[in-house]
Amino acid sequence: MATPEPIRLLDPLFTTDAMRRVFSDQRRLQSMLDFEAALARALVEISIAPRGVIASIESQCHAELFDMESLARAAALSGNLAIPLVKALTEFVARSDAQAAAFVHWGATSQDAIDTGLVLQLREALDLLDRDLGHLSVSLAHLAAAHKYTLVAGRTWLQQGPPVTFGFKVAGWLDAVVRHRERLSRSRKQVSVLQFGGAVGTLAAAADHGLELAAALARQLELDLPELPWHSHRDRLAEIAASLGLLVGSLGKMARDISLMSQTEIDEVLEPSGTGRGDSSTMPHKRNPVSSAVILAAAFRVPALVATILTSMVQEHERGLGGWHAEWETLPEICRLTAGALSHIKDMAAGLEVHSDKMSQNLNLTGGLVLAEAVAFALRESLGKEKSHTIVEEAARRAAQDRSDFAELLLSYPEVRKHLSAADLSRLLDPSNYLGSAAEMTEKVLSARSDAKK
């Protein structure tokens, strides 16, 4: 008999309970049985089988009726799970209705049940991910709007550059989330298709009823009907894997930014606090960025798994040898890791601590050097590009070496004094005056997200 999926020690860290259930052994089995039950209904719908077979077959299509261990060990000998499952299902049905047993798995092949079962799981998995992406989008939108004018140092090559706003930085994260949500929606539509082709994809066993039966089965499962079976054409599944890989990469980028900003010396943001969250086994003062660590771990692991799926696309003739099998554990693992990373970033974004005062302090660490570009551009019209850049670069270097006042050093150059006053320099070295279109671009992202929701 089926037993509840045992929890692995690291499951709560790296995935979610909901996604763990979607890709549990029991759900894998039930999805295949859902295919078999739908096939029985489709056979009746187009008058191939008598109506009575539906109840006889459906009553046995429950995962808890099957011995998981026996199926697993039989699958090791047969090469896939569908063969022993169909055999057991047929035996169960035959006990009460020999006529109905003849219609179990009628016209189908093992891959039809396995692939369509996977599609049903993926459909549910993608709906879960979309829900969490929606929550993340809301939290990021709130953060971006609240900090549209909160100054923070822009950083390139991990060094401070001219200022941005924290809202602008968050808007970049949000914009990526919106794109991923759209991409996954398209991928969900691509993969939500029936797999039903029989032995070599021609539906020969169904004789003249093949296309009619396939259409009825697709209706029963609420899946689209492809032009032809896709047994050895795996681009739909590869698209899901690649799309999730891209998503996890963006989540990793967010986690990298947040973890860097939460370093003790920076202290611009912190992950949410809570009892036991981020504790150190030896250092009582620490508040470790646990969520960032998990998200980054997923971002390290998923690309290699995506590569496995892409490599597995090279399949032989009408049925792949090995490539198909390589998908069975790899794609669920990608989904599990994605769900875990997304859950962590969702909770982190909703409760992120933002230290705007520390952002301001860090921005002023260089004494205005990060605004050197603003001064160089102000002088460019009078002195030309090369000369203005040379003077400002030299002044910046001297100010950094001597820890001297950047504005005073600039005014020591006659060329600068001739064209800029102390008041001019004060204005140019005010970070709030050198934000370009940050606020407008942030608002564009927020508006685009609002429009997309309508």
CB under 8 Å to 403, separation ≥6 — which residues?
Answer: none
pTM, whole model, 2 decimals? Answer: 0.93
d(CA 446, CA 454): 13
The encoded tokens of residue 432 equal 């709030």
The three-state secondary structure class of 55 is helix
Cβ(348)–Cβ(258) under 8 Å? yes
CB under 8 Å to 19, separation ≥6 — which residues?
Answer: 125, 128, 335, 336, 339, 340
CB under 8 Å to 99, separation ≥6 — which residues?
Answer: 50, 52, 53
Cβ(109)–Cβ(198) under 8 Å? yes
Mean of pLDDT values over 95-103: 96
Residue 450 has pLDDT above 60, yes or no: yes
φ, ψ of residue 161 to 5 degrees: the values are -120, -165
- pLDDT digit string, tens, across residues 67-87: 999 999 999 999 999 999 999
Per-residue b or e along 95-122, where b marks 16 or more CB atoms closer than 10 Å to that residue's CB? eebeebbebbbbbbbbbbbbbbbbbbbb
d(CA 419, CA 433): 19
Which residues are known to be catalytic? Answer: 280, 319
Residue 1 has pLDDT above 90, yes or no: no
The number of angstroms, rounded, from the C-alpha of 320 to the middle of its chain's C-alpha atoms is 28
Residue 269 has pLDDT above 50, yes or no: yes
Residue 159 has pLDDT above 50, yes or no: yes
- pLDDT digit string, tens, across residues 203-226: 999 999 999 999 999 999 999 999
The encoded tokens of residue 235 equal 């681009």
